[in-house]
A and B are shown apart, each in its own frame.
Chain A
Amino acid sequence: MNRQIRQLAVGLMACYVVLFVALNYWQVGRKQELDARFDNTRAVLREFNKPRGPIVTSDGIVAAVSFPAAPGELYEFRREYPTGDLLSDVTGYFTFAFGSTQVEREYGDVLTGSTTEQQVRSLGDLLGGDVDAAGSVELALRHDAQSAAKFLLAGREGSITVIEPATGAIRAMYSNPTYDPNTFVNADFEVAQEIITELQEAPGNPLLAQAYQERYMPGSTFKVITTGIGLEEGVLTLDTVFPDERQWVPPQTTDPIQNYNGSLCGGDLATVFARSCNIPFAKTAVELGPEAMVSGTEAWGIDEELPIDLPRPAASTFGDTGSLDQELPLLAIRGFGQSETQMVPLHMAMVAGTVANGGRMMEPYAVEATYDSADRVLDRTTPELWKTPISPTTAAIETGLMIGVAERGTASCCIALNGGIPVAAKTGTAELGVPSNPDLSHAWIVAFAPADAPQYAVSVVLTNVQSTADVAATGGRLAGPIAKGMLDYLLTGPGAQPTPAAPSGSLPEGSGG
């Protein structure tokens, strides 16, 4: 029988060799093909079932957090957004089937603890018994400022952006329409799909963070840029005087350009800036010429994606600049922010911030710092200079011009701050020129305060507002009070900081920065 037993041993051995070969076939040979199959959800599931750290505002309010799901739930963790729609423009959302956006997307590695640094650190922590490597993200945004912005906007379509001119830190960035990620992130596939599709097709695109992912015709707020270029190029000085005119015919055309409402407008630079005459800035743009104007706008960061630390930022545009020397009338119109000129609301806040910051345009940032699972700093945002479009002298001149707007000009109705804090501003009313609805416009204001020691720069835009026979939908009248409310809240209201904001916030003890 021993011979048979040996044969049996060989036979059984052969069986297991077959299994071993088959195992190699599936786990190594066809691995790539199987992993890539569309119905193979392992890779996505693994990512989704990792613990995910919280996103917290700079004043300590949790904007996104994960909880272990109850047994029997679809996924191992529930992602919740306690602030609802308040911060969804910045946090974004994180879903299993529909990807992720904003901070959830850009900082996904930190939140799941997958960055190399976190992996290395958690390796050390393994001995200490803590291997939950999930990191956390601290926003530069303040929950209270964001709430104030939402309150001031009062449901109207548009956005409010508040930055610190000296650092570029975004302290508030809220826009309507928006959405609440809680409605779909933990839902079944079909339900989530339905809600997301509905949001994608909704008017105003609620899923976009309009404040940095959308651009609008800036109207007269653009004159800050045109004036800046003119002053830098020597085409304008404080002594430049423009004649009182109702209309002006630019070269290469017979169609005249008019001031707002066809009014008579002229005077020295301070006067035409405060009254927001159109013709002087059209003339300035033409006098500068296409080349200087285009390179000037580029110096302000136009035609470049904003260097924000969030995904898919929009770029402001001066329109098609290919044949502007053949289209001087267009150049003239764009010079005061009409026609194809389009600005991102955040960019306009940065423009005001540049004037406030002595001509230095800082890179905007929404994330203050990232932390590992043990709350040790992984990375703290250091303010970075992006552009220097104007000299400190020019900035000082423009500050004076903008104070004039607030004190005697188009914003004087509405921007005077509580406690007499000096403020600088520029209004804009972008006429959209829709033939069927000529009174439709965007109402803008950019401002910063205190004008003598700027702490905050604000841009407010109310989009698609309608003028009526009685009330003109102007930036000063509509957006002005919102900017005032925001600045009052931040400077003298409940949101006032005890000390002026330090350049990079307070450093936690022991951090390497």
Chain B
Amino acid sequence: MNMENKNYLGTILAGLAIIIFWVFILPIWDRISLLNEAIPERENMLSSTREILKKIDELNTQYNERSSDVARISSVVPNAKSSAELVSTVEAITQQTGLQLVEIITSGSDDQQQEFQTIFIELGLAGNYPSLTAFLELLEKNLRIVDVSEITIAQTSVLGGQASLNFRVKARAYYLNVNN
């Protein structure tokens, strides 16, 4: 091979090396850089996911072990409207205290953005003052939180020294907005 050919061959080989560099090595290098950034992120994600799942498992175990306490707390602020339970609770309390339940009006708040929803209850009751205080006491001690917001007492008649009274009690009960 003469010198000229050798020079040509050398130049062709160098040119091929440059083509290999541009066509193969540079794209692979870019991909490697990308992967080198992505892999630690994935590793972190994997380890944090493992930790979170482990914590969830632990919490779930505790949740199941203390299911009775959980159920009691869930009764305080249920995760559903549970209007039927509310009505039966009010009825039971009025029966216990000797009040006559004349009327129940319920309505709900429409604000879906709030973490918890409110049920507004308006009760029409008839009876005497000690019954009302007993009623309020039982309502305050009720497992599901009920906040009385307004009380109206109107005297209707006095029979044998005991005044007969009409009451209107406005109250609020709450439940969790699970969708929020």
Query: Bound pair: A and B?
Result: no
Q: Which residues of A contact B (CB under 8 A)?
A: none
Q: Which residues of B contact A (CB under 8 A)?
A: none
